[in-house]
Structure 1
Amino acid sequence: MEAEAREVSRLWRIYKTIYQMCRDRGYLVGQRDLERDLDSFKMEFAPNNVVDRNRLTFLVQKRDDPADQLLVFFPEDTSVGIKPIRTYAEKMVTQGVTKGIIIYRKSITPSANKIISQMSSKYQLEAFNEADLIINITHHELVPKHVVLQDEEKKALLQRYHLKESQLPRIQVNDPVARYYGLKRGQVVKIVRASETAGRYLTYRLCI
């Protein structure tokens, strides 16, 4: 019973982090889901102390572009293979959604990763291990605020400082913070750090 309770609590934390991630990427999410407490989570998704991961699936749309939608999946499989990936792809096609996130329990098989890669020209599927989402890394005191620039903001930045994008400091596309914000190669992120003298100072990084 204690193990089941721990698992429910763990998934509640993951659930909150993924909703925060969607919000921070500019998607519309309900305040109720952002603030959902453990008891409410249990009542909704684990009335018998076992979470039905299929019921955790949800759809969100961008705040400034309703056509930009994202589906989030929580596979039951401990190791995710080709079958669930194809099921999710079919669901995305049916709903006209081109972006998805898979929150997997332990691992994804090489063949499933290959399918995800083959789909990447039309469908953008990201995969996160549950263990990486128990804590929201952007809430850590050592992680400064990150703001993803829009294309026009990036262009204005380069013009203002007479820079080529290759002259900007870099952030790897697989950096944990870059993955949290869904950064793509070529995008620029503004990093806001506290400063004892200036109050704050800004740096910019190019995703590569």
Structure 2
Amino acid sequence: MADVDDVTSEANEKVVVRTWRAWRTVHEMVDDRGYELAEDEVKISLEQFKAQYCAADNSIIRGKLNFSARPSQEMLRKYTPPATPSNPDPQPEIGTIWVEFLNDTALGAEQMRKFGKFCSDNHYRTGILISHVPVSSTAKKEIARFAQWTTIEWFLEEDMLVNITHHELVPRHVILSREEKAALLKRYRLKETQLPRILQRDPVAKYFGMRRGQVVKIIRKSETAGRYASYRLCV
């Protein structure tokens, strides 16, 4: 019996480590987007993670992994459209985000519908679903149903084990505000369609939650110039 318990404990330990790594990456992603998170939430140690989110048998209490975060003042500014005569007091096109770690063994239409309803009913402007199983094609179709209330994103837990933006070959990405985008186009006398493109499904674009029409500044190292910037339009 002891041998069985040891095997179970060892298996649980592997799951805990993988989930902790994904949980940290998700928090780094939310923080990098501009939401307000405490530093100890983002940089939680494995031992702290176990103490807060694991049961006595070292199994993860997945329901406790879910969290929400509010946008920072800088993020609110970036996502607030300029005032116009018809809209003198524009509201931010961003709000509180909800992140949920799926506890089910499948991610189909029913699970996605339930998640979308929860986000819209609780007025979350963005909902991120982290799943340890692939999403079904029918579940993807459910996302569009809630688009007018909440933006739904999903990530495979396996893809969050490593933060891709920390890789030495991935340059720094900075999302431009509307004003910065307008200034860029004016400076170089360009139409936005003349900019190089980045797909919304690009891993880095997904990480930052880029929206179509946004422009990202990509800063690369250069042996001659020190560093140089290029720009891409999200499509």
What's the TM-score, normalizing by structure 2?
0.85
Deviation of the 1:25 alpha carbon: 0.5
Residue deviations 1:163-183, cap 9 Å, x none?
111111111111100100111
- Aligned positions, number: 208
Any stretches of 5+ residues in structure 2 without a counterpart? 1-8, 77-91
1:60 to 47, 60, 69: 69
Distance between the aligned counterparts of 1:187 and 1:88, measured in 2?
A: 26
Deviation string, structure 1 residues 17-68 (Cα, Å, up to 9, x no partner) = 0000001111011111111100000010013311111111100111023961
Cα deviation 1:63-84 (Å, max 9, x = unaligned): 0239611000111112212333
AA in 2 matched with 1:98: R
Residue 205 of structure 1 and its aligned partner are, at CA, apart by 0.5
In structure 1, runs of 5+ residues without a counterpart are none
Measure, in 2, the Cα distance between the counterparts of 1:124 and 1:93. Answer: 9
For the residues of structure 1 that align with 2:59 and 2:170, how far apart are their CA atoms? 34
User: Is the 1:148–1:189 contact (alpha carbons within 8 Å) kept by the matching residues of 2?
Assistant: yes
Q: Which runs of 4+ in 1 moved over 4 A?
A: none
Q: 1:39 aligns with which of 21, 25, 47?
A: 47
2:183 aligned with 1:156: yes
Identical columns (%): 43
Identify which range, 101-110 or 174-183, moves more after superposition: 101-110
What is the letter of the counterpart of residue 210 of structure 2? L
Q: Please state if 1:19 is matched with 2:27.
A: yes
1:138 and 2:147 matched: no
Q: Following TM superposition, by how much is the alpha carbon of 1:3 offset from its aligned partner in structure 2, in angstroms?
A: 1.5
Aligned ranges for residues 1-208 of structure 1 at < 5 Å?
A: 1-48=9-56, 49-64=58-73, 65=76, 68-208=95-235
Given that residues 116 and 143 in structure 2 are in contact (C-alpha distance below 8 angstroms), is that contact kept between their aligned partners in structure 1? no
CA RMSD of superposed structures (Å): 1.4
Normalised to the residue count of structure 1, the TM-score between the two structures is 0.95
Structure that is richer in strand per residue: 1
How far is 1:105 from its partner?
0.8
Tell me, in whole angstroms, the C-alpha distance in 2 between the residues paired with 1:171 and 1:83. Answer: 32
Moved more, 108-117 or 20-29: 108-117
